[in-house]
Amino acid sequence: MGGQVILIEDDPDVRFLIEELLKKEGVNVISFESFEEASSSINESSDLVIMDVKLPGVDGISAIEKIRGLSSCPIILMSAYGTRKNLIDAIKKGAYDFFIKPISVEEFRVVVRRALKKMELERELKKDEKKKFDSVLFHGIVGASSSMKEVFRVVEKIAKKDINVLLCGETGVGKEAIAMLIHKLSDRKGSFVPVNCASLPDPLLESELFGYEKGAFTGASTSKKGKAELAENGTLFLDEIAEMSDRLQAKLLRFVETKELERLGGIERKIIDVRIISATNRDVEKEIRDGRFRKDLYYRLSGITIKIPPLRERREDIPYLIDYFLSQLENEGGKKLEIAETAKERLLSYLWPGNVRELKAVLSSASAICEDGLIKIEDLPLHIVGDEGKGLIHHLPLDKSIEEMEKMKILEALKKTKGNQRKAAQILGISERSMWYRIKKYGICSKEMEN
């Protein structure tokens, strides 16, 4: 039969009998008297846990959940005081089978064999899935579609070349992830240093980029290196480059052309060896025509231009991205996560205006509120569950985020029901648990529900 079995039984006579029975079947048995002693030995290499219900410390029923955080292996429970309630509780919590002592040796042997075979088949399936999944992963970035594979091809081709790169694409498509990948695959020994050009006002962005000397302005009590200097021998990533002012564009152009850096308030110039990767979600050529972006700077930054397609144009990537993000969330939270087919279908039909970033956020939110690790359709955000999520083109108003629209829908339903959360949840087609979570998330107070 083979396999590694963890046996948890505080009765030495019963423990010995089961050990001998399993050893005759060719099973490697590791025995413990309590769950606390066994917990450090239970992991993904374990093939099966056999455990008594009545144990010192943590009992067998309570231990099931703890084991699920350590291993996905089957769990067989035993009890001399078994009841129908024990059996139902055990199966609900995830036990594979339940035996009442004294155990029928032949029946026990058959169930153990089946449990070990189940684990063996699951491992083989995981290996096959991993091979399939590895084929769509490029250094940790998911891309099964031909358009993403073309992005990967270009990245691999230019990564080691000393050429500036411009990444174009909508918000949330993963421009920074691609920029980091180019740096990772390059021969540059310095750091990858990101700067968001849209997040800082002009004077702060200038000092952030180029640094400053002591006394350069009020509050500059010490000298400070800028991000360009920190990226020496590495990569400077300028996100949302089209948001930069004309004055800063001119200063950046000079730096790109000469690689000479002069801190604010300084007189010394220093040559910096740095590769520049820029990114924008705007149509740069239109920005140039409209006089908002310098043509000469564009030519300097776009030694090679890579366009990253939006998620709606590479829909074949979505199932893989769902699996990838759920796997990440499992590792972070320590619990098994699955998604119901109806919920998955809705995610596949939605047009994802926020792209990969929105998909990740949706799965993160849904995993936090779902029950028993299963993401159902009612766990998804309202803008996806509602009519506008059913494959229709969905453009959010510029002044409203997805979260604001969801909060607005919740408030509308609560006002209709005069603050009755159960009825509001029914109107929206979500569970009471989901409603409670969202009320807490958005800080909706009782006064807002009634006004």
Name the residue with higher pLDDT: 176 or 217: 176
Residue 375 carries which DSSP code?
E
Cα separation values, 62 from 31, 37, 92, 266, Å: 19, 15, 12, 66
Q: What tokens appear for 40 in the block?
A: 């450090």
Q: How far apart are CA 9 and CA 38, in angstroms?
A: 10
pTM summary value: 0.67
Confidence class for position 397, pLDDT limits 50, 70, 90: very low
Predicted local distance difference test score (pLDDT) of residue 246: 94
Rounded to whole angstroms, the Cα distance separating 389 from 385 reads: 6
pLDDT digits (tens, 9 = 90+) for 269-315: 899 999 999 999 999 999 999 999 999 999 999 999 999 999 999 99
Residue 451 has what pLDDT? 58
- Mean pLDDT value of segment 161-184: 96
* pLDDT (0 to 100) of residue 398: 35
Quick check: do 4-133 and 144-309 share a fold? yes
- Give the pLDDT confidence score for residue 272 in this predicted structure: 93
Q: CA nearest 331: which of 74, 149, 69, 95? A: 69
Per-residue tokens: 278? 């820029």
pLDDT for the residue 153: 96
Q: Top-level CATH class of 144-309?
A: alpha beta
Q: Residue 8: what pLDDT?
A: 94
* Secondary-structure class of domain 4-133 per CATH: alpha beta
Q: Given this model, what pLDDT does residue 395 score?
A: 41
Domain boundaries, the chain: 4-133, 144-309, 314-450
Confidence of residue 396 (pLDDT cuts 50, 70, 90): very low
Q: Which residues contact 269 (CB under 8 A, 6 or more apart)?
A: 260, 261, 262
Dihedral pair phi/psi, residue 137, rounded to 5°: -105, 130
Q: Would you place residue 446 in the very low, low, confident or very high pLDDT band (cuts 50, 70, 90)?
A: confident
CB atoms within 10 A of CB 344: 17
- Per-residue pLDDT band for 202 (boundaries 50, 70, 90) equals confident
Quick one: tokens of 344? 């998955």
Indicate whether 144 pLDDT > 50. yes
Ranges 59-73, 254-268, 426-440: which has the least confidence: 426-440
Q: What is the pLDDT of residue 194?
A: 96
Cis before 310 (ω within 30): no
Q: Looking at residue 392, what is its pLDDT?
A: 37
Confidence of residue 401 (pLDDT cuts 50, 70, 90): low
400 pLDDT above the threshold of 70: no
One CATH from 1.10.8.60, 3.20.20.70, 3.30.230.10, 3.30.420.40 for 314-450: 1.10.8.60
Q: What is the pLDDT of residues 302-318, one digit of tens each?
A: 999 999 999 999 999 99
Percent of the chain scored above 70 by pLDDT?
93
CB neighbourhood size of 172 (10 A): 19
The b/e string for 176-186 (b: 16+ C-beta within 10 A; e otherwise) is bbbbbbbbeeb
If one counts every other C-beta atom within 10 angstroms of the C-beta of residue 36, the result is 15
- Per the structure block, which two tokens stand in for 72? 């996905």
More confident residue, 378 or 85: 378
Report the C-alpha gap between 444 and 437 in whole angstroms. Answer: 11
Query: Minimal CA–CA distance to 435: which of 360, 382, 367, 376?
Result: 382
Q: Dihedral of the CA atoms 63, 65, 67, 73 (nearest 10)?
A: 120
pLDDT at residue 399, as a whole number: 39
Give the CA dihedral 254, 256, 261, 263, nearest 10 degrees. Answer: 70
The per-residue pLDDT of the chain, averaged, comes to 87
User: Given pLDDT bands bounded at 50, 70 and 90, which one contains residue 394?
Assistant: very low
pLDDT at residue 182 in the model: 97
Nearest CA-CA partner of 424 in 406, 407, 412: 412
Q: Work out the average pLDDT over 96-117.
A: 90
